[in-house]
Structure 1
Amino acid sequence: MVFLLPGVKFDFDLIQKYDTRAPRYTSYPPATELTEAFTAKDFELAICNSNQRQTPLSLYFHIPFCQSACYFCGCNTVISNNKNIAKPYLQNLAQEIKNTAELIDTSRNVLQIHWGGGTPNYLDLHQVEFLWNKINRYFTIDPQAEVSIEINPRYINKEYIQFLRDIGFNRISFGIQDFNPIVQEAVNRIQPEKMLIDAMGWIKDANFDSVNVDLIYGLPHQNLHTFRETVQKTIDLDPDRIVVFNFAYVPWMKPVQKRIDQNALPGAQEKLDILKMTIEELTNNEYLFIGMDHFAKTNNELAIAQQNGTLKRNFQGYTTHAETELFGFGATSISMLEDAYAQNHKGLKEYYQAVTEGIIPTSKGFKLSQDDIIRRDVIMSIMSHFQLHKSDIESKYHLDFDRYFCQELAELKPLEADGLVHLLADEIQITDIGRLLVRNIAVTFDTHSRMREAKFSRAI
């Protein structure tokens, strides 16, 4: 049975047929390919090469601390009510910024900054200002830069929000997950409705350029009726972007999820019904389906970047500046350069030790081959724009697309027969049915992940 939605066709039978695991492609190769064979010295060389390219920069700063554990969480966090734990972390983060900035040509403009976590508003206002000043001391921030931060609405007030805006943040995001108090209790994330309404009101009053909220479907005790209420209440809040994540229940990878009652999770058909309803409600209320799990208003940067062909994906998801190279700071953060990826140590002890010794705190990474770079362009075009012009790849890399990817094009034939994709002379077009299964299409061009399927979440 096929249901028509604006820009999307929802086909239950095909979704069930292609219900396999695949990377989310926030990078290619995926982060699962990072290896300890890639060292801090390799990253230093990659930075040197990056300086020669003179590309603009994106910066990411990871604040890993949370006051309590959300049972659905898949992030790298440190749970502690002792706020003093942030003091040595900030000192080491500031030292890492200094050490790494000495290797970067910091005349390169910074077009994007993002603080993520964990919970960045775990920091008090003096600590926020301290970190902000360190960043501005060592980097050249473009006056029009997109500067964003994630917040937890349980630990925020109007003064804090206004301070963030005054100091220079112009975009903000927070997690709703679900308005239903039974669901919230089941995942240890209790946020009364008034709290969420107040947080959005403070953000609107502070005049942020853009606000993003996150929802999660597939959590315990959710059903079609209750999640419809959550979606409608979210629309009433009027955010600029909405991200609707599929909950990946992977307790063997994230032990905190063992606290979730598996018997309370919605079944596969219920999840599909929830997803269909969510897409329908959002697209009927002037949110564009950007891709995979992202929705944005037509005047939002994501929608504009997709229209202009400058949308891309990185380790934070969809992003608006395809030309930037990303440097990540803090424990577990990942840098994403043109030809290399590098991840910092996850453990605070190892991270602190490396920083203290004046070593870039790289724990693992990956050096991309020319083939990786070519395939990344193909995959990111499919993921970001739902189409690919073969001639663009041919002219950029001086190759014959059909010959280079003859095996992949053959493997796409059954997907074309199922209506997921159109294979044209100079173009690969993802159909409205294929949009929801874009990961299944992209994985065809992925030479790294096919033997690692179990490591990834399901495509829907």
Structure 2
Amino acid sequence: MPSLPAELLGQFDVPGPRYTSYPTADRFVEAFGAEDHARAVRRRRADGAQAAPLSMYVHIPFCESLCYYCACNKVITRHHEKARHYLDYLACEAALQAAQLGPGTVVSQLHLGGGSPTFLDDAELTGLMAMLRGVFDFAPDGEQSIEIDPRTVDTGRLAHLASLGFNRLSFGVQDFDPDVQRAVHRVQPAERVFALMAGARALGFESVNVDLIYGLPRQNDASFERTLAQLCMLRPDRIALYAYAHLPERFKPQRRILAEDLPDAPIRVRMLARAIEVLRDAGYVYIGMDHFALPGDPLAVAKRNGRLHRDFQGYSTQPDGDLVALGVSAIGRMGATYSQNAKTLENYYDLLDQHRLPVVRGLALSRDDLLRRDVIMALMCRGHVDFDAMGEAHTVDFRHCFAAEFAALGPLVAQGLVRLTDHDIKVTPRGWFLVRAVAMVFDKYCGAHRERFSRVV
């Protein structure tokens, strides 16, 4: 990984999409509903695409306590009976989805997110996995991952997760500094995280990810340096290093964070530059965006072999394809459409009580959307777009279609972030750190409501 000066990073301290999809979810419309999703499923079956494996996302919204930085769709409660009620409705939704998809559909990738999936107790997780396996066919060598709140598990619970077939874990750490943890209302001693990592290693999990956030209240250069040192000692297989997006007007919990406690832009940029340097020296491969991995991790292997993909959970080794989403607010993809479930439990339950899929918004992509999606994902995943190949795939004159975008790339070319020829675009090693800024050039919607997104750095 090349070094990246803070001065250059600072020039890109602007909001921008993360491109877990294109168009991004802010473009979804309520005119798209359950019947539109059903049509996309019927089209999948008519095209014979049911032979292709599916990915699956299951949203568990519950948390016992509120983390002030959180922008996820969650329900804060200590009443665990609410989870049992929710699981009954998840089973109804899964049955409706399976009936539409038809027999023989194989799920090759499962991810449980939230909220905190480990809000569920061992019996509830067992029941959830049994229900899913009873409704869908799971590939025996598939990837099964779950997000972990370290405050809610011990090594015994990790062993239970392994027995259920989970082979990948993601620990939500965010920061090791106690003062920062108190400021965001998420106190979890570093010793607990280290003990869980040792337990996960002993149990043979294939990969363990750790989430960190920079830009949190009370973070500074010195405290973040200590967190980075502890992270390198922990040595997870993967690291997701996110920039905190302070949007209190959109996310009510963030109003509990004092603006004066937030590090200013120069400090945030320095923290990112230092993280890149420290992780490079520790032997991590920079995958792209905010992802790092050890050289032997499948994500790093996929990056080297040009087989990297991107979905709603970030970078992935799974081929780009359809995604079934279960649970409140969950977002799925089917062919050339995206769909999102109701965002409140009340609406979610009401639609399922009517034996209807709880899809309330989404988007059917136009030809232009599909072309731009392929360009943006090629940049985000491979750092390369071949004009002739892309034009042939979409039956367009690529150079003519994107003449304005080529002109807009000029400053990025001058900064050494992109190489532009008559035949292709290539993101340079330096440009990989700012690939979102490169992708934004090809996003026709990016100018609208850009302030709703997190910052590029």
* Alignment match of 1:198 (pick from 195, 207, 225): 195
1:11 maps onto 2:1 in alignment: no
Percent identity between matched residues is: 40
Following superposition, the deviation at residue 151 of structure 1 comes to 0.9
Following superposition, the deviation at residue 220 of structure 1 comes to 1.1
Alignment of 1:53-452 (within 5 A): 53-54=49-50, 55-452=52-449
Residue identity matched to 1:37: A
Q: How many residues of Structure 1 are paired with residues of Structure 2 in the alignment?
A: 454
Q: Distance in 1 between matches of 2:7 and 2:117?
A: 42
Following superposition, the deviation at residue 110 of structure 1 comes to 1.3
What secondary structure, in the 3-state scheme, does the structure 2 residue paired with 1:194 have?
Answer: helix
Residue identity matched to 1:197: F
Q: Distance in 1 between matches of 2:18 and 2:330?
A: 17
TM-score normalised by length of structure 1: 0.96
Following superposition, the deviation at residue 297 of structure 1 comes to 1.0
Residue identity matched to 2:146: I
Alignment gaps of 5+ in structure 2: none
Following superposition, the deviation at residue 22 of structure 1 comes to 1.1
The one-character-per-residue Cα deviations of 1:39-73 (angstroms, maximum 9, x if unpaired) are 11001001112233233200000000000000111
Q: Distance in 1 between matches of 2:329 and 2:445?
A: 22
- Which of 252-261 and 13-22 deviates more? 13-22
TM-score normalised by length of structure 2: 0.97
Aligned partners of 2:10 and 2:269 also within 8 Å: no
CA RMSD of superposed structures (Å): 1.3
The one-character-per-residue Cα deviations of 1:329-351 (angstroms, maximum 9, x if unpaired) are 00000002230000000100100
Aligned partners of 1:56 and 1:323 also within 8 Å: no
Please name the residue that 1:20 is paired with. Answer: 14
Residue identity matched to 2:178: P
- Which of 252-261 and 444-453 deviates more? 444-453
Q: Distance in 1 between matches of 2:311 and 2:103?
A: 21
Residue identity matched to 2:311: N
Residue identity matched to 2:26: T
Q: Distance in 1 between matches of 2:129 and 2:298?
A: 24
What secondary structure, in the 3-state scheme, does the structure 1 residue paired with 2:449 have?
Answer: helix
Aligned partners of 1:30 and 1:449 also within 8 Å: no
* Alignment match of 1:40 (pick from 27, 30, 34): 34
Aligned partners of 1:58 and 1:112 also within 8 Å: yes
Aligned partners of 1:106 and 1:138 also within 8 Å: no
Q: Distance in 2 between matches of 1:413 and 1:441?
A: 11
Q: Distance in 2 between matches of 1:405 and 1:76?
A: 37
Following superposition, the deviation at residue 106 of structure 1 comes to 4.0
What secondary structure, in the 3-state scheme, does the structure 2 residue paired with 1:332 have?
Answer: coil
Residue identity matched to 2:34: A
Aligned partners of 1:11 and 1:433 also within 8 Å: no
Alignment gaps of 5+ in structure 1: 1-5
What secondary structure, in the 3-state scheme, does the structure 1 residue paired with 2:441 have?
Answer: helix
1:162–1:226: structure 2 CA closer, same or farther, 3 Å change rule?
Answer: same
Following superposition, the deviation at residue 422 of structure 1 comes to 0.7
What secondary structure, in the 3-state scheme, does the structure 2 residue paired with 1:195 have?
Answer: helix
What secondary structure, in the 3-state scheme, does the structure 2 residue paired with 1:103 have?
Answer: helix
Residue identity matched to 2:242: F
Residue identity matched to 2:87: L
Aligned partners of 1:327 and 1:335 also within 8 Å: yes
- Which of 186-195 and 402-411 deviates more? 402-411
Q: Distance in 1 between matches of 2:133 and 2:148?
A: 21
